[in-house]
Amino acid sequence: MNFVRQRLATVLLVIGLIFAWICLTSVVIRQTLLLSGKVPSYSTTALKNPTVRSALSDLIVKSVEHSYPVLSKIPTAQLNAAVDRALTQPAVADEFANVTLQIQQHFIGTSDQQIVLGGPALSTAVAQIIAPNNPTQQQVIEKIPFTYAISSSSIPSIGKYFRWIGNLINVSSYGSAALLVAAIVVSAKKSRTLRKIGIAFIMFSAFEVTVFWLLPKYVLSHFHSGPEVVVSGIVAASASAIVPIYVGVLGAGIAFAAVSFLI
């Protein structure tokens, strides 16, 4: 009888933990990538990172420097430095925040338009930095679109998933709670079941930290150019929004594990 109970408890435990992982991952995605009100602040934080600014500068300068005669006379290093400095200005940061919202809209499936980094504010700022005492040259540079177009196909879209994410969180959270409680009640070895739940929660927290925090930071520290650095910078900047989730899940895991040794 105990054998059958333990087998049933194991099945309930496995399914319950799968539901718990789905719920946790969905909540983390919603909190980091889908909250429109938070995205502008993420982009502002990302632009404070020198690696992100360097990657943006490199992309934008490479896309324009050989297309306009006036820029071909300016050293690439000077152009990069000017774009990098311009990215720290409030007007340019606001422009970049709007682009970040476009990236988010594509990600959640509400837009499929081409995404363009940069714009008029960046062109104006770069012109003022490169030619502060030359109004004629300044006007010429202001007319140059300091931009870089990101192919929409290079950014994943979770449109179908996004439409159901709220319901998925509700179903998976209630389902996991019911299944895990049932597993504990049915189990003939309750302490072992509780310990498995605790270890799983600790592992879930470690996994989410790795994917949504450590991996973006790894990309930022090992790559210095390309759109992936920009995206990683935004994701890394959003990490602060999900710290309470990591801590909560980790704390729950430790609590379950600790209780398992007391019964």
The least confident of 4-18, 119-133, 184-198, 211-225 is 211-225
Token pair recorded at residue 242: 């999900």
Span 10-56, pLDDT tens digits: 999 999 999 999 999 888 877 776 665 667 777 778 888 888 888 88
Q: Confidence band (pLDDT; 50, 70, 90) for 258?
A: very high
- Check whether 227 has a pLDDT greater than 70: no
Q: What is the DSSP string of the chain?
A: -HHHHHHHHHHHHHHHHHHHHHHHHHHHHHHHHS-TTTHHHHHHHHHTSHHHHHHHHHHHHHHHTTT-HHHHTS-HHHHHHHHHHHTTSHHHHHHHHHHHHHHHHHHTTS--SPEEEE-HHHHHHHHHHH-TT-HHHHHHHHTS--EEEEPGGGS---HHHHHHHHHHHHHHHHHHHHHHHHHHHH-S-HHHHHHHHHHHHHHHHHHHHIIIIIHHHHHHHH--SSHHHHHHHHHHHGGGGGHHHHHHHHHHHHHHHHHHTT-
Residue type, 252: A
The rounded distance, in Å, linking the Cα atoms of 226 and 162 is: 27
Query: Domain coordinates of the chain in residue numbers?
Result: 2-34+169-260, 52-107+115-150
Output the pLDDT for position 154: 65
Per-residue model confidence as pLDDT tens digits over 75-115: 889 999 999 999 999 888 888 888 777 777 777 777 777 78
- Computed on alpha carbons and rounded to an integer, the radius of gyration of the chain in Å comes to 24
Helix axes 39-47, 227-237, angle to 10 degrees: 120
